[in-house]
Structure 1
Amino acid sequence: MLNRRDMLVGGAAAALAGSISETRAQVIATAAQGQRAISVLSDGAFEMPRSMLARDIPIETIAQATGAAGPSTSVLNVTCFRQGDQVIVFDCGSGSNFLPGTGKLGASLEAAGIAPDSVTHVLFTHLHPDHFWGALDDFDTPLFPNARWHADRREVAFWTDAKVYEKLSEDRHAFAAGAQRIVKALGETLELHDAGSEWIPGVAAFDTAGHTPGHVSFELKDASGPVFVLGDALTHKIASFAHPEWRPTSDHDADLAVATRRRLLDRAATEKAQVIGYHLEGGIGRVERAGNAYRFATPG
């Protein structure tokens, strides 16, 4: 069994973070969708080299486009959706085994008045550490003891493939080891689904592969308008919108991720959807067209 030191030394920290930013547990944003409530909760934040925002783009160009030099802060936004007697969580943070500055979901749930045993469903966009490792608490038991867990079958198949290590750089091997451990621990409570269908009533998954092989985003359907929970299909509040053609180093299939971003941005702008990105500061916003590109518009 991997412990925290094994995971960090194994490369997860080097792959995604430079210096670490401390962020207090908090409720980032709230919104109503008809008779249903949405809360965006913080799992903390970390800092990563700004060069990770785009492969083969000069750092000076990245700094100018994003309005800052030095490390880029990446926030972790966990979405909670309450409808009737259901409490649905999208991704579940990084837990205590990832990076300092992260793993604050438990405190944020408490701040929002959401008891872990009240959560009925957890839906994963993908199985990267900062989205999946929080599924287990410090005692290696499920954080949400009464929940059903849901993931894309392509995503689970990729990370649990015996040959997955041959498909990954060495600094990503800990990602696979952690995913395999948690999939095994969740056992039969982890339900596998296909993109393009409702995973639970009122919540449909749609394909946004590229960041990972089985990455999905979710649409919350309501007469008041759609809400998209995007995971890591869009990961930076400026770069992902103004330069969807850039190829972040964290994307597994960079070319597919570019095509996915372009399609997603066009759809979100056309449908005037509210969007929630896991790493987008501000939590909830909308995609607006800006010349030949886009921008992330948040309330206020």
Structure 2
Amino acid sequence: MLTRRHFLTTTAATLALPMAPRRLWAGSSLTLGALQIDTLSDGTLVLPGDFILGGMPQDEMTAIVTKYGLPTDQLTPPCNVTLLRDGTNTVLFDVGAGHDFQPSAGKLLEAFDALGLSVDDITHVCFTHAHPDHIWGLLDEFDEPVFPNAQLLIGQAEFDYWMNPDTVNTIGDARTTFAVGAARRLGAIADVVTLVQDGQEVLPGVAARLTPGHTPGHMAYQLGAGTEAAMVVGDALGNHHVAFERPDWASGSDQDKDGAAATRVGLLDQLASEQMRLIGYHLPGGGIGRAEKSDAGYVFVEEV
């Protein structure tokens, strides 16, 4: 069926082809038993440095960040949407920023085109949390669902927080648009969304894990089990520099700074001790790698 969304997407992609080089959208791939995992680029964000780095010990923070060849005044983290295929289900973890957040992001449908995927192929969407770069891609320009056949899943605590009418008044001026945008999109799916709990197996081989702090109900997802396992960590590990080297530091991007730090410390300890692969939304190289203990804390080692 040809909808307005399909027409605009196809037309835009066609017009752009002579002018734009082809991008490699599968930033990284991983096979875990019967699970095929790819990370798809939704583009990048452009953020003032203090949104993430504000409130940290500035001299120590600057030494860490510059060691990774990055500035401290502006950061441009990648956005990696995880795609899981098990032969029956085709699952997305988050849906990107959509058309109305930042012009450098919202590129997920271009990634679909490059891989020969259709939005109609998606059977499930599991949300880590409801920040704009993770959930605003749920609706198109006409407020139609972008993934019409998908069962939608989000943590109970996350849904309750953003749907609470007091949230917009208590979240702070800098995040008011976050609250309005989340409530609008979650309100549109309130009658059909599935609310999940910590520890719940949401699909065969996919277990939800509450990782709060970045948002009150942030959820990670463990894929597979034992040595054949990986953790989709969303923004529980929001960068590859200070979040790993000093996970105990508060970050300006987290809504509950102390809670998020505690989550990072515990999560990195588990990932490193179990040598479990992780998939991070804002980590480099497509986001797939491992956490390894170092003298300074931890280091992110990209999967090669």
Normalising to structure 1: TM-score of the pair? Answer: 0.88
Using the alignment, how far apart are the partners of 1:270 and 1:60 within structure 2? 30
Secondary structure of the structure 2 residue equivalent to 1:221: strand
1:107-186 matched pairs, under 5 angstroms: 107-186=110-189
Paired letter, 1:170: D
Q: Which of 217, 220, 223 is matched with 2:223 structurally? A: 220
1:10-29 aligned at under 5 Å gives the runs: 26-29=25-28
Question: Which amino acid in the other structure matches residue 39 of structure 1?
Answer: D
Q: Secondary structure at the match of 1:32?
A: strand
Report what 1:15 is aligned to.
Answer: none
In the TM superposition, residue 188 of structure 1 has moved relative to its aligned partner by 2.4
Aligned length: 278
CA distance in 2, matches of 1:240, 1:187: 33
Structure 1: gaps spanning 5 or more residues: 1-22
Shift of 1:60: 4.3
TM-aligned CA deviation for residue 159 of structure 1:
0.6
Matching residue within 289, 293, 300 for 2:293 = 289
Structure 1 residue 292, shift from structure 2 partner? 4.9
Q: Distance in 2 between matches of 1:228 and 1:176?
A: 27
CA deviation map 1:148-197 (0-9, x unaligned): 00001111111110111232111211111111111122232211111111
Segments of structure 2 that go 5 or more residues without pairing to the other structure are: 1-21
- State the partner residue of 1:57: 56
Give the match for residue 18 of structure 1: none
1:25/1:105 contact within 8 Å kept = no
- State how far apart, in whole Å, the 2-side matches of 1:299 and 1:199 are: 26
CA contact (8 A) 1:34 1:223 kept: no
Give the secondary structure class of the aligned counterpart of 2:99: helix
Letter in 2 for 1:45: T
Question: Which residue number corresponds to residue 41 of structure 1?
Answer: 40
Kindly provide the amino acid, as one letter, of the partner of residue 181 in structure 2: G
- Stretch moving more, 54-63 or 74-83: 54-63
Q: Verify the 8 A CA contact 2:56 2:251 in the aligned structure 1.
A: no
Cα offsets for 1:119-167 (capped at 9, x unmatched): 0000000000100110112221111110000001111111110111232
1:84 aligns to what?
87
**Which of 238, 242, 260 is the matching residue for 2:241?**
238
In structure 1, distance between residues paired with 2:186 and 2:214 = 20
| 1:186-265 matches, cutoff 5 A | 186-222=189-225, 224-265=227-268
Deviations 1:93-139 (A, max 9, x none): 01001011000000011212221101000000000010011011222
Q: Which amino acid aligns with 2:139?
A: L
Which letter maps to 2:281?
Y
Deviation at 1:55, TM superposition (A): 3.5
Give the SS at the match of 1:192: strand
Q: CA deviation at 1:51?
A: 2.5
Change (3 A) 1:128 1:98: same
| CA distance in 1 between partners of 2:124 and 2:60 (Å) | 42
What root-mean-square deviation, in Å, do the aligned CA atoms of Structure 1 and Structure 2 show? Answer: 1.6
Give CA deviations for 1:68-95 in whole Å, capped at 9, x if unaligned: 3241221111000001220000000010
Q: Secondary structure at the match of 2:76?
A: strand
State yes or no: 1:298 paired with 2:297.
Answer: no
Which residue identity lines up with residue 150 of structure 2 in the other structure? A
TM-score in terms of structure 2 length: 0.87
Counterpart contact for 1:242–1:293, Cα < 8 Å = yes
1:48 CA drift (Å): 1.6
